[in-house]
């Protein structure tokens, strides 16, 4: 264990602890754009800089291990000055259109500008514009809002393993791009949307959710994905009793299987829920046609038929296909129904198909 | 899975994938495997008729002829035994039946197996060595292994492989089926199977039935095994089965040899379907009940690693749709057996009382993190790894498994081997994904994968419509040229109703034990139109 | 009268640098032979005793750097010949005059840290130096003097930042030339994740002489805290614009007036930029300062690579600094915010001012931006990029103000 003093408060941390962690442990709120506990460190956004007594420059706390006896200030004048200037530098190239932005209300750039009172940028000058054109139905790429934190690049490589995107060009012209600066669909991208998940601003958003609700308007309901057997947990985003998107919780406790990572189906395959042709009323075949019926009518009809077949041909003339899609509770009731009510073991589901 | 998903990312030192295109069908598991290989240097063996994505980073890739799984695995076991790479202590102390298997395996030399599978003998040896020498090696397989007339044999041979090398019961090892659907595991656990009640308690066991008779307050539960799905279709076809209740399934698209299925359903006196859409099956029903999607219901799913997790209702039931459990209760009430539950939670509490492996799991305990069954008591932490100290039956049993070739072979009329599967952007019969705007926009049509050489020989170009036929039917779909498969093999998916692969597949012969139809292999013909 | 003192360049143009035999005749490879007879610890001690500090710009004590290298099965020695600084060419000169000394120095380092593999990362614009080095290596191998120490030459990626040791390592690994954060320092986790010593060409070239003549001998030359000699490249408005090797207690005035022969065409001196493009501009009143690392720091300057650029009275400082700002805008790798955005905006502001469109507010903005870039940039490039602006704003602010319309 080593001792560090943070904003006058002395704490003990294990050797090797990064300053960021130590500062947070001491209750200091350190802003970050590029830091992500699940990804390799970048140390590049420089928002997390802190002042250490006796050092000529500020230290990026996310990549600087705490040293014994360090005395750290996390909001000293030069720290605040640096953060403000960095924010202003970012704003100078940013398409600041919060009112129509999908991330309005859940955006680190907004939050930190608010926190440091940065209303506008003193650096007025050239703005490089990027094309938003990328014909894919999943991901909106608006690099006029990108702050170059490279989290998307890292998550794509380290979590998904697709390596679809990287930083191209240098200096002020550096930008996120696919291998040949082409469309995502022509790259190795698998549209997992992990990049959307980590983007701290509105540069990467879901086209499927676009315009359907701002972050503070939606309620997030943790549940389990309805597709393959991996059992990823995800959050359904709900607004006005309608599912408007999917996000994911990266906390191991709430996402023990996938730690927030999803595939294209889990992240983008949810709007079938409100598909126009959802069945919303019982149907009974009358004169060869399926026609809407009331619940009582349909249930009575089905019950009568079941009773009739059971009585005429015995319970084994009936069978049920339950489902690998419905819940445990429903499957349990389904087989209980066949066994206890109908009296047959003719119950199966498509486990094998 | 005998082991957990997380182990594939962290603990497994070697991973053997057979018949699983993991990055497309279980993408998140695919990410983890790739991460383990790239970052921790885990060894990877891939056996698949198609050179799938993960084959690119594999230490050994074995492209074997579809349907020759058993031969391939027996070949690996042969190498392990002949090179003395087996875990003798494990075999001695924890298994039985080894001698018979060892004797039966003797003829499966890599050279012989090579002639059956088309995999070079050297690769079989290399794969065997990597798997056997790793400190912990996991096998993962999926439908590519089970959807054969010899599916059960395939799985048994995989178990033999794990047993000879002691790759069971320790972190990073195991025999790991990757389940295709979100709650296949749960449906099986819950006894939605013709031969068992919950937790695999056999219907033919008197004491088991007695327990349930008491719990469910019925005089007598049926005591003989029921019909499997495929048997039921056949019985319907024969006119013996009169009524069928289908909840959230679409046999009209998912089952093999669809013409046969259709005729069978036509003969039913009564077909009841409960679903969220008017599926191809629902269209044939006499009565259709609108159920709800996962977004509209509470409950639990059990994933492929046996983890029981919560499903939570996010929105109210759409329109007049009813909770699926309520529909069953209503029917039951009408048939003179009152079922009264206030919520899925209450049903779960009942499940716990009759399902020993779920007894310790409660909604409270899995509020955040799901638990792996078996979890017999409230204090039990769950069981990520099965067979740690001993197997369920005590000693692990080896099974002699002989190679039997696939049911249908290519001939002059049907010169190609057709294999079927899934792709990343769609799921199963497409009921949900094809109504998901983005997925459908991205992959709106089915394709048949054809080797470029085959295509050029036949004058077929990329994107062109071709006719793919088998003895059972034909479909028209677009050609996709790719050299990930061999020249005499073609591949397509079963997600698209307008080009339904299962019009082509075989419904017979079923695997004698699991009754799985041999989707994966049949003889086919390809024509330019 | 201050004089040149040649150690590294003593036999310049008298021996063929490609030929190990000629080098051996003038005493070459004695140092390595000695080092090999010593314990690893003693070699490091000897280098520590010499007080040798890095000649690549940061002035870190070489022996100390080596002493941090942990035990590992594989380690590397990397010679930094990126020399991307405009106006600097001393590393090229060292190779062209005394390449064998560089190889010997690397082998000595290899002996000290127990490494058998060295890389020379050579600036992309020096293809002929790559040729020369390869021949020199072949010759040394033929003469059998390198023993089991192998040296490979790698061609640089043509970016200034690749001279920064961790960006250099990334570049050798085939990645984008961007710096890594430190710690871990390359000495602990460098090329392909193993301990790697990166030193400048000149640092390596001094080692043979330290080993053969003893650390104490070296420590006695020049400034006590930055002993030895330093090779300078003198450019700009001087009569004798060439390279010199001088003891480190040599002062700037002597560099310009004695070695450099004074200002060209009888003009007056205005400023001198020391240390390369990112160096500070020093006015007349500070010319008596010795060139050693610490004396330079004391006046807010840095010896850096040893480039000395002299400007006469007719030069437009603001224009010169604008061009420098453009250089950094172009060379920023783009990894970190303060430098990527800062160099761009600094150049924009400098252009505005240089074009006569600036105002006092712009100077304030430059000052605060410079401070933040220095304080918060990821690597030395961004940290040093504002120095030319800051030093000229300090000493020549009137020239900026004169531009305002
Ligand atoms: C932007 C930048 C460029 C650099 N370029 C060079 C260079 O061209 N040559 C060099 O030797 N050191 C260069 N350095 C310094 C190296 O990072 C490193 O400190 C040096 O190679 C260590 O060797 P030394 O201790 O022998 O000086 C540069 C540093 C920075 C920040
Ligand atoms: S990304 Fe953030 S700051 Fe930018 S427009 Fe969107 S909400 Fe506003
Ligand atoms: S969607 Fe996934 S694969 Fe595509 S760029 Fe984003 S992270 Fe990479
Ligand atoms: S797109 Fe988003 S995640 Fe990617 S670099 Fe830009 S701001 Fe960061
Ligand atoms: S300071 Fe400049 S060169 Fe260095 S990392 Fe930052 S952007 Fe790159």
pLDDT tens per residue, range B296-344: 999 999 999 999 999 999 999 999 888 999 999 999 999 999 999 999 9
Asked whether A198 lines ligand 4 (CB < 6 A), one says: yes
How many CB atoms sit inside 10 A of residue A213's CB? 18
Q: If you take atom 1 of ligand 2, which residue's CA is the nearest one? A: A202
- What stretch of H or E contains B213? helix B206-216
Asked whether A199 lines ligand 2 (CB < 6 A), one says: no
**Beta carbons of B83 and B129 less than 8 angstroms apart:** yes
In the prediction, which pLDDT does B521 show? Answer: 77
DSSP assignment of B417-466: EEEEE--TT--TTSTTGGGSHHHHHHS-S-EEEE-HHHHHHHT--TT-EE
- CB within 8 A of A36, min separation 6: which ones? A151, A154, A155, A198
Asked whether C60 lines ligand 1 (CB < 6 A), one says: yes
| Mean pLDDT, chain C, whole residue set | 96
In the prediction, which pLDDT does B328 show? Answer: 96
> Could you tell me the pLDDT band of residue B257, with boundaries at 50, 70 and 90?
confident
- CB within 8 A of B46, min separation 6: which ones? B17, B18, B52, B54, B55, B58, B60, B61, B62
DSSP 8-class letter at C334: S
Percent of chain C with pLDDT over 90: 96
pLDDT digits (tens, 9 = 90+) for C13-27: 999 999 999 999 999
Domain boundaries, chain C: 20-219, 226-312, 317-402
**Domains of chain B with CATH codes:** 7-178 (3.40.228.10), 184-372 (3.40.50.740), 416-528 (2.40.40.20)
Q: What pairing do the DSSP bridges indicate for beta strands C76-81 and B465-470?
A: unpaired
Determine the distance separating the centroid of ligand 2 and the alpha carbon of A96, expressed in angstroms. Answer: 6
How many Cβ pairs closer than 8 A exist between chain A and C? 107
Whether residue B251 is predicted with pLDDT greater than 90 in this model: the reply is no
- CB within 8 A of A221, min separation 6: which ones? A235, A236, A238, B312, B313, B314
pLDDT digits (tens, 9 = 90+) for C361-376: 999 999 999 999 999 9
The CATH code that applies to domain A125-274 is 3.30.70.20
**Average pLDDT over every residue of A217-232:** 96
Contact A81 C377 (CB under 8 A): no
Q: Which of the residues B243, B285, B353, B384 would you substitute to probe the A interface, choosing the one with the greatest number of A C-beta atoms within 10 Å?
A: B243
**Beta carbons of A112 and A87 less than 8 angstroms apart:** yes
Determine the distance separating the centroid of ligand 3 and the alpha carbon of A206, expressed in angstroms. Answer: 12
**Beta carbons of A208 and A137 less than 8 angstroms apart:** yes
Please compute, for residue C33, the number of CA atoms within 13 A of its CA located in the half-sphere on the CB side. Answer: 9
What does the CA dihedral B35, B38, B43, B46 come to, rounded to 10 degrees?
A: 70
Q: Which of the residues A272, A290, A295, A303 would you substitute to probe the B interface, choosing the one with the greatest number of B C-beta atoms within 10 Å?
A: A272
Domain A2-75 in CATH 3.30.450.90? The answer is: no
Asked whether C377 lines ligand 5 (CB < 6 A), one says: yes
> Which candidate, C186, C194, C199, places its Cα nearest to that of C60?
C199
DSSP 8-class letter at A278: B
**Average pLDDT over every residue of C334-348:** 98
What does residue B431 show for φ and ψ, rounded to 5 degrees?
Answer: -50, -45
> Which candidate, B528, B373, B376, B508, places its Cα nearest to that of B450?
B528
In the prediction, which pLDDT does B404 show? Answer: 86
**Beta carbons of B409 and B523 less than 8 angstroms apart:** yes
pLDDT digits (tens, 9 = 90+) for A276-308: 999 999 999 999 999 999 999 999 999 999 999
Q: Whole-angstrom Cα distance, residue B52 to residue B19?
A: 10
**Average pLDDT over every residue of B234-263:** 88
Beta bridge partners, C222, equal C227
In the prediction, which pLDDT does A352 show? Answer: 54
Whether residue B258 is predicted with pLDDT greater than 90 in this model: the reply is no
Asked whether C275 lines ligand 1 (CB < 6 A), one says: no
Which chain A residues have a beta carbon less than 8 Å from that of C386? none
Q: A151 in contact with C at a CB cutoff of 8 Å? A: no
pLDDT digits (tens, 9 = 90+) for C51-78: 999 999 999 999 999 999 999 999 999 9
In the prediction, which pLDDT does B394 show? Answer: 82
What does residue B364 show for φ and ψ, rounded to 5 degrees?
Answer: -60, -45
Q: A72 in contact with C at a CB cutoff of 8 Å? A: no
- Predicted ipTM? 0.95
Looking at chain A, the domain(s) classified CATH 3.30.70.20 span 125-274
Distance of CA B338 to the CA centre of its chain: 35
CATH among 3.30.420.40, 3.40.1190.20, 3.40.50.620, 3.10.20.600 for C226-312: 3.10.20.600
Whether residue A179 is predicted with pLDDT greater than 50 in this model: the reply is yes
Q: Whole-angstrom Cα distance, residue A107 to residue A200?
A: 6
Beta bridge partners, B288, equal A283, B273
Which chain C residues have a beta carbon less than 8 Å from that of A57? 374-376, 383
What does the CA dihedral B243, B248, B253, B258 come to, rounded to 10 degrees?
A: -10
Residue A153 CA: which ligand 4 atom is closest? 4
How many CB atoms sit inside 10 A of residue B416's CB? 22
**Beta sheet of A233-239, edge-to-edge order:** A219-224, A233-239, A242-247
Chains B and C touch (3+ CB pairs under 8 A): no
Q: How far is A168 from chain C (nearest CA, A)?
A: 9
> Maximum CA pair distance of chain C?
70
Whether residue B255 is predicted with pLDDT greater than 80 in this model: the reply is no
The minimal CB distance from B436 to the residues A271, A295, A305 is found for A271
> Could you tell me the pLDDT band of residue A336, with boundaries at 50, 70 and 90?
very high
Beta strand segments in B172-222, E: 175-177
| Mean pLDDT, chain A, whole residue set | 96
pLDDT digits (tens, 9 = 90+) for B414-465: 899 888 888 999 988 888 999 999 999 999 999 999 999 999 999 999 999 9
> Which candidate, C213, C89, C83, C204, places its Cα nearest to that of C151?
C204
Chains A and C touch (3+ CB pairs under 8 A): yes
Superfamily name with CATH number, domain C20-219: NADH-ubiquinone oxidoreductase 51kDa subunit (3.40.50.11540)
- What stretch of H or E contains B51? none
Q: C224 in contact with A at a CB cutoff of 8 Å? A: no
Which chain A residues have a beta carbon less than 8 Å from that of B436? 208, 265, 268-272
Q: What angle do CA A164, A168, A170 make, to 5 degrees?
A: 155
In the prediction, which pLDDT does B506 show? Answer: 67
Q: Whole-angstrom Cα distance, residue C82 to residue C269?
A: 31
**Average pLDDT over every residue of B168-191:** 93
**Beta carbons of B507 and B255 less than 8 angstroms apart:** yes
> Which candidate, A48, A55, A47, A49, places its Cα nearest to that of A71?
A55
Q: Could you give the angle at which helices B69-82 and B121-133 cross, rounded to 10 degrees?
A: 70
CA-CA distances (angstroms) from residue A200 to B57, B479, C221, C336, C377? 32, 41, 55, 16, 21
Distance spanning both ends of chain B, measured CA to CA:
45
Looking at chain A, the domain(s) classified CATH 3.10.20.740 span 2-75
Cis status of the peptide bond prior to C326, with omega within 30 of 0: no
Whether residue A204 is predicted with pLDDT greater than 90 in this model: the reply is yes
In the prediction, which pLDDT does B405 show? Answer: 78
| Nearest-Cα residue of chain A relative to residue C374 | A57
DSSP assignment of C368-385: HHHHHHHHH-SSHHHHHT
**Beta carbons of A283 and A292 less than 8 angstroms apart:** yes
**Beta carbons of B368 and B310 less than 8 angstroms apart:** no
The helix/strand count (H/E) of chain C reads as 17, 11
**Average pLDDT over every residue of B120-125:** 97
In the prediction, which pLDDT does C1 show? Answer: 46
Q: B288 in contact with A at a CB cutoff of 8 Å? A: yes
Q: Whole-angstrom Cα distance, residue B172 to residue B139?
A: 10
Q: Whole-angstrom Cα distance, residue B302 to residue B184?
A: 8
**Beta carbons of B90 and B137 less than 8 angstroms apart:** no
Which range, of A81-85, B9-13, B321-325, B363-367, averages the lowest pLDDT?
A: B321-325
Whether residue C155 is predicted with pLDDT greater than 70 in this model: the reply is yes
Contact A65 C183 (CB under 8 A): yes
Q: How far is A102 from chain C (nearest CA, A)?
A: 24
**Secondary structure (3-state) at B489:** strand
Q: If you take atom 4 of ligand 3, which residue's CA is the nearest one? A: A189
Q: A179 in contact with C at a CB cutoff of 8 Å? A: no
Asked whether C304 lines ligand 1 (CB < 6 A), one says: no
Domain C317-402 in CATH 1.20.1440.230? The answer is: yes
Asked whether C382 lines ligand 5 (CB < 6 A), one says: yes
**Beta carbons of B206 and A281 less than 8 angstroms apart:** no
Contact B369 A254 (CB under 8 A): yes
**Beta carbons of C212 and C31 less than 8 angstroms apart:** yes
C-alpha torsion sign, points A84, A88, A91, A97: positive
> Which candidate, C67, C27, C37, places its Cα nearest to that of C49?
C67
Cis status of the peptide bond prior to C184, with omega within 30 of 0: yes
Residue B502 vs residue B53, higher pLDDT = B53
The minimal CB distance from B247 to the residues A254, A321, A351 is found for A321
Which chain A residues have a beta carbon less than 8 Å from that of C374? 57
C-alpha torsion sign, points B322, B326, B328, B332: negative
- What stretch of H or E contains C80? strand C76-81
DSSP 8-class letter at C256: I
Asked whether A151 lines ligand 4 (CB < 6 A), one says: yes
Nearest bound ligand to CA C176?
Answer: 5
Contact A335 B191 (CB under 8 A): yes
What does the CA dihedral B347, B348, B350, B354 come to, rounded to 10 degrees?
A: 140
């Amino acid at each position: 264990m080593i001792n560090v003093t943070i904003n006058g408060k002395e704490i003990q941390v294990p050797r090797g602890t990064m300053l960021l962690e130590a500062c947070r442990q001491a209750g200091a709120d350190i802003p970050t754009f590029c830091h992500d506990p699940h990804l390799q460190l970048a140390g590049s956004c420089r928002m997390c800089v802190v002042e250490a007594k006796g050092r000529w420059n500020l230290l990026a706390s996310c990549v600087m291990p705490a040293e014994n006896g360090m005395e750290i200030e996390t909001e000293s004048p030069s720290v605040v000055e640096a953060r403000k200037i960095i924010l202003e530098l970012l704003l100078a190239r940013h398409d600041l259109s919060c009112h129509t932005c999908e991330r309005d209300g859940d955006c680190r750039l907004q939050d930190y500008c608010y926190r440091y009172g940065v209303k506008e940028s003193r650096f007025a000058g050239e703005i490089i514009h990027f094309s938003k054109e990328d014909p894919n139905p999943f991901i909106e790429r608006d690099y006029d809002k990108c702050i170059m934190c490279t989290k998307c690049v890292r998550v794509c490589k380290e979590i998904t393993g697709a390596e679809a995107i990287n930083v191209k060009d240098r200096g002020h012209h550096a930008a996120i791009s696919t291998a040949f600066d082409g469309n995502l669909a022509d790259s190795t991208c698998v549209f997992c949307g992990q990049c959307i998940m980590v983007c701290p601003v509105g540069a990467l958003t879901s086209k499927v959710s676009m315009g359907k609700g701002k972050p503070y308007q939606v309620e997030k309901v943790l549940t389990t994905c309805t597709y393959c057997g991996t059992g990823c947990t995800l959050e359904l985003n709900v607004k006005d009793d309608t599912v408007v998107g999917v996000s994911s919780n990266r906390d191991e406790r709430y996402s023990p299987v996938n730690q927030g990572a999803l595939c294209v189906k889990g992240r983008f395959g949810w709007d079938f829920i409100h598909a126009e042709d959802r069945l919303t009323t019982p149907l009974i075949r009358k004169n060869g046609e399926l026609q809407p019926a009331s619940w009582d009518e349909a249930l009575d009809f089905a019950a009568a038929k079941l009773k009739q077949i059971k009585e005429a041909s015995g319970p084994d003339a009936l069978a049920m296909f339950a489902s690998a899609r419905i819940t445990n509770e429903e499957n349990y009731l389904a087989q209980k129904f066949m066994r206890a009510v109908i009296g047959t073991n003719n119950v199966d589901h498509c486990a094998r198909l | 899975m005998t082991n957990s998903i997380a182990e594939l990312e962290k603990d497994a030192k070697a991973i053997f994938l057979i018949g699983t295109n993991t990055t497309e069908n279980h993408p998140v598991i695919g990410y983890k495997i790739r991460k383990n290989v790239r970052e921790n240097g885990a060894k990877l063996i891939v056996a698949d008729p198609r050179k799938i994505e993960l084959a690119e980073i594999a230490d050994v890739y074995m492209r074997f002829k579809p349907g020759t799984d058993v031969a391939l695995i027996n070949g690996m076991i042969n190498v392990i035994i002949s090179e003395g790479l087996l875990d003798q202590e494990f075999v001695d102390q924890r298994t039985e039946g080894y001698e018979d298997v060892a004797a039966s395996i003797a003829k499966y030399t890599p050279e012989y197996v090579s002639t059956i599978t088309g995999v070079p003998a050297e690769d079989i040896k290399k794969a065997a060595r990597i798997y056997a020498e790793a400190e912990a090696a996991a096998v993962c397989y999926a439908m590519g292994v089970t959807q054969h007339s010899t599916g059960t044999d395939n799985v048994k041979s995989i178990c033999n492989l794990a047993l000879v090398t002691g790759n069971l019961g320790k972190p990073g090892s195991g025999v790991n089926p990757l389940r295709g659907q979100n709650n296949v595991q749960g449906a099986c656990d819950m006894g939605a199977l013709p031969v068992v009640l919950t937790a695999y308690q056999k219907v033919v066991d008197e004491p088991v039935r007695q327990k349930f008779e008491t719990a469910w307050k019925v005089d007598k539960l049926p005591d003989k095994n029921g019909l499997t799905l495929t048997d039921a279709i056949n019985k319907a076809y024969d006119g013996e089965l009169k009524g069928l209740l289908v909840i959230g399934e679409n046999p009209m698209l998912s089952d093999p040899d669809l013409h046969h299925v259709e005729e069978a359903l036509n003969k039913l006196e009564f077909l009841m379907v409960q679903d969220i859409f008017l599926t191809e099956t629902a269209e044939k029903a006499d009565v259709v009940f609108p159920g709800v999607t996962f977004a509209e219901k509470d409950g639990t799913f059990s994933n492929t690693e046996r983890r029981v997790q919560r499903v939570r209702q996010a929105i109210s039931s759409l329109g007049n749709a009813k909770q699926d459990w309520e529909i069953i209760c209503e029917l039951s009430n009408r048939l003179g057996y009152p079922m009264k539950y206030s919520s899925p939670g209450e049903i779960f509490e009942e499940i716990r009382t009759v399902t020993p492996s779920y007894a310790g799991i409660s909604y409270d305990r899995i509020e955040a993190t799901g638990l792996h069954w078996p979890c017999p008591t409230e204090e039990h932490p769950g069981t990520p790894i099965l067979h740690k100290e001993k197997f369920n039956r005590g000693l692990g049993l080896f099974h002699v498994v002989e190679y039997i070739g696939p049911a249908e072979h290519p001939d002059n009329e049907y010169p190609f081997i057709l294999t079927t599967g899934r792709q990343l952007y769609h799921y199963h019969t497409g009921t949900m994904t094809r109504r998901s705007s983005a997925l459908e926009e991205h992959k709106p049509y089915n394709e048949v994968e054809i080797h470029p050489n085959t295509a050029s020989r036949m004058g077929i170009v990329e994107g062109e419509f071709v006719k793919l036929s088998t003895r059972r039917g034909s479909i028209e779909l677009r050609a996709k040229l790719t050299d990930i498969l061999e020249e005499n093999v073609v591949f397509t998916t079963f997600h698209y109703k307008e080009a339904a692969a299962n019009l082509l597949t075989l419904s017979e012969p079923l695997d004698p034990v699991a009754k799985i139809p041999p989707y994966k292999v049949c003889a086919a013909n390809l024509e330019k139109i | 009268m201050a004089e040149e003192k040649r150690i590294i360049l003593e036999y310049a143009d008298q021996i063929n640098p490609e030929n190990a035999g000629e080098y051996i005749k003038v005493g070459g490879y004695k140092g390595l032979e000695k080092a090999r007879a010593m314990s690893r610890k003693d070699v490091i001690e000897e280098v520590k005793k010499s007080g040798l500090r890095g000649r690549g710009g940061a002035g870190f004590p070489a022996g100390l750097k080596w002493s941090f290298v942990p035990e590992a099965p594989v380690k590397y020695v990397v010679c930094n010949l990126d020399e991307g600084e405009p106006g600097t060419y001393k590393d090229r000169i060292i190779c062209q005059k005394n390449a064998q000394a560089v190889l010997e120095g690397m082998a000595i380092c290899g002996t000290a840290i127990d490494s058998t593999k060295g890389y020379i990362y050579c600036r992309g614009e020096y293809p002929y130096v790559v040729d020369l080095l390869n021949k020199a290596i072949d010759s040394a191998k033929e003469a059998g003097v390198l023993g089991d120490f192998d040296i490979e030459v790698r061609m640089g990626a043509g970016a200034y930042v690749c001279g920064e040791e961790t960006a250099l390592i990334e570049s050798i690994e085939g990645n984008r030339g961007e710096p890594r954060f430190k710690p871990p320092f390359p000495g602990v986790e460098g090329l392909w994740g193993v301990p790697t010593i990166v030193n400048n060409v000149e640092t390596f070239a001094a080692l043979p002489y330290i080993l053969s003549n003893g650390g104490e001998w070296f420590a006695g030359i020049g400034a006590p805290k930055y002993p030895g000699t330093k090779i300078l490249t003198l450019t700009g408005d001087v009569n004798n614009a060439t390279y010199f090797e001088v003891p480190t207690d040599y002062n700037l005035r002597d560099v310009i007036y004695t070695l450099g022969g004074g200002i060209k065409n009888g003009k007056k001196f205005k400023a001198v930029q020391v240390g390369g493009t990112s160096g500070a501009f020093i006015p007349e009143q500070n010319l008596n300062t010795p060139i050693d690392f610490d004396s330079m720091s004391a006046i807010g300057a840095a010896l850096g690579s040893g480039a000395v650029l002299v400007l006469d009275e007719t030069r437009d400082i603001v224009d010169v600094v604008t061009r420098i700002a453009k250089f950094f805008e172009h060379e920023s790798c783009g990894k970190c915010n303060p430098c990527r955005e800062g160099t761009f905006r600094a150049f924009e502001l400098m252009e505005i001012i240089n074009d006569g469109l600036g105002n006092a507010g712009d100077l304030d903005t430059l000052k605060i931006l410079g401070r933040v870039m220095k304080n918060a940039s990821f690597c030395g490039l961004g940290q040093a990029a504002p120095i030319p602006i800051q030093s000229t704003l300090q000493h020549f602010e009137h020239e900026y103000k004169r531009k305002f319309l």
